[in-house]
Amino acid sequence: MPLLLGIQRLFFFSICIALAGCQTSSNVIVDYDTGTDFSNFQTYDWLAADKGTANDIDPLLAQRVQQALRTKLLDAGFHQAVSQQQADIWVRYQIAAQTRSQQPQSGGSISFGGGSGGNTTMGVSLSFPLGGDIAVKEVELMIDLVNVKNNKLIWRGSKIFKLAKQSPAEMTAVVDAAVAEILAFYPPKRINKTY
């Protein structure tokens, strides 16, 4: 019976470690002008390509970013202005991509189980990659919001994500998720400090 109790504790501990490993931490970096009242902004337009929109990096990736931005800005309550002069903010995005070789990763797992009658089972699973390195594109996406009235940067969010061997639909989903994660930090939440 003490052996069964020890195995159950080990099983519970293994589950806790596995769940802790599943939690993702955001690698979004945000900076903004603390003196800006972000509630004043409702319309946007794109900052012209010669002023920083990075359409020359990867045109298909840039199209995915711009489409994701259109959707998420609309979700955030923004509407595209008829002209740049009628916009409250200009939206600029920058893409920096670098392709690297990466070795496929091996993995493994151990599982425990218990049944009636005191039976205990244990399983081990290992995976080893076959083949050589795979090409991984590491992408840094930076989204800027610029105040039209004074041409001043008021908010910036950035995130690094990876693309490798995905279908076009899967790449679109990765870009959509990255843009959504960055814009989840807009507008900035005011922090009330009490001393």
79-89 pLDDT per residue, tens? 999 988 899 99
90, exposed or middle or buried, with CB in 10 Å at 0-12, 13-18, 19+?
buried
Residue owning tokens 């005011």: 190
- CATH class as words, domain 27-104+134-183: alpha beta
H/E run at residue 29: strand 29-32
- pLDDT (tens digit, 9 = 90+) per residue, 115-128? 566 666 666 665 55
Provide φ and ψ at 186, rounded to 5°. Answer: -115, 135
| pLDDT tens sequence across 164-184 | 888 999 999 999 999 999 999
**Cβ-proximal residues to 85 (8 Å cutoff; 6+ apart), any chain:** 148
Cβ–Cβ under 8 Å, residues 94 and 49: no
List the beta strands (DSSP E) in 33-178.
Answer: 43-46, 79-80, 89-102, 107-114, 120-127, 134-147, 152-163
